[in-house]
Amino acid sequence: MRIAHLSDIHFGGENPQAVAAASAWLAAEPLDLVVVSGDLTRFGETQEFVSAAAWLKTLPKPRLVTPGNHDAPYLAWVDRLFTPFARYERAIGRARFQTHLAPGLAVYGLNTARGVQPRANWSKGQISQNQVAEALAWFAQAPADALRIVVCHHPLTEMIGGPMTGKVWRGEAAAQAFAEAGIDLVLSGHIHAPFTWPYGYGDGHTYAAGAGTLSVRERGVPPGFNLIETDAEEMRVQALAWTGSKFEPSRTWSLARR
């Protein structure tokens, strides 16, 4: 199984050379799925969504795309308050959840971003008990031998030493629930740096994996994305970094499967 995981493109503030090179790389590779875990835009502006939608159409199918906090309008306050993901849904697709089911693979995308929250920093994440329950009910219908992946924008638990935080409300409880249900991977973005780590719950074989950014908003890490390759024994997450002329492997993690 080969899955490309991209995140935080931030059209309106994208790195044009890296975005174009990523498109060419993806088109040349045999892939089972392309995942984009949110923040397709910089400010949630209509023209940014037009650019994002046009770019997505150049990527191989199948694709699964989730929204991020930057995909709610930054300046259009009425829209942000009442219909924060209407622009996203018109241009990209359903915001609330997405699914992909194929032989050996079950993927569920959910939205951890919110238009407004009862705290000062609206960029941080939330996940509700209902969202977790709906995801697990869907996975319960998937074949038992399928690789199980959850996709969301914010890391459910914090990356130690990371360049920024997700501070996801109810994130730790969601991570525990997914681990105890036998989810294999939880893919996210938001912090603009690649990482992996195991959740400290269940049998220890549920892992978080984050992708970097293809924007100019670098946080000490070059633009890049991840390639995930799996077999019966392990999941290999390879971070590909933009050198200015091409993507090169910068780090690879080997994660043992249950």
Domain boundaries in the chain?
A: 2-256
- Please state, in angstroms and rounded to a whole number, the distance separating the CA atoms of residues 254 and 160: 19
pLDDT tens, 107-136? 999 999 999 999 999 999 999 999 999 999
DSSP-derived 3-state class of residue 11: strand
pLDDT band at residue 161 using 50, 70 and 90 as cut-offs:
confident
Contact 42, 8 (CB under 8 A): no
**Sign of the CA dihedral with 151 first, then 154, 158, and 162 last:** positive
Per-residue model confidence (pLDDT) at position 41: 98
pLDDT tens, 219-244? 999 999 999 999 999 999 999 999 99
What is the token pair recorded at 6?
């991209």
Question: Class assignment of domain 2-256?
Answer: alpha beta
pLDDT band at residue 75 using 50, 70 and 90 as cut-offs:
confident
Per-residue model confidence (pLDDT) at position 162: 81
Per-residue model confidence (pLDDT) at position 160: 78
pLDDT band at residue 254 using 50, 70 and 90 as cut-offs:
very high
Residue corresponding to tokens 């036998």: 182
